[in-house]
Amino acid sequence: MPQSDLTFLSVHQLALALASRRLSPVELTEAYLSRIQAQEPKLQAFVEVYADDARLAARGAEAAIRSGHAVGPLHGIPIALKDLIEIEGRIVTGGSEVWRHRKATRTATLVRRLLAQGMIVLGKTHTVEFAMGGWGTNSLRGTPWNPWDPQRKRTPGGSSSGSGVAVAAGLAPWAVGTDTGGSVRLPSSWCGITGLKTTIGRACRGHGAAVRRDAGSGPAGCPHPGTAVHRPDAAIETRRARPAAGPHAGRRARAGVGGGARGL
Q: What backbone phi and psi angles, to 5 degrees, belong to 224?
A: -135, 135
Task: Answer for the pair 187, 136: CB distance below 8 angstroms, yes or no.
Answer: yes
Give residues with Cβ within 8 angstroms of 68, minimum separation 6.
none
Distance CA 206, CA 209 (A): 9
Distance CA 111, CA 173 (A): 16
Give residues with Cβ within 8 angstroms of 155, minimum separation 6.
135, 136, 137, 143, 146, 161, 190
Residues marked active site are found at 82, 159, 183
Give residues with Cβ within 8 angstroms of 119, minimum separation 6.
74, 75, 77, 78, 79, 234
CB-neighbour burial class of residue 227 (10 A; exposed 0-12, middle 13-18, buried 19+): buried
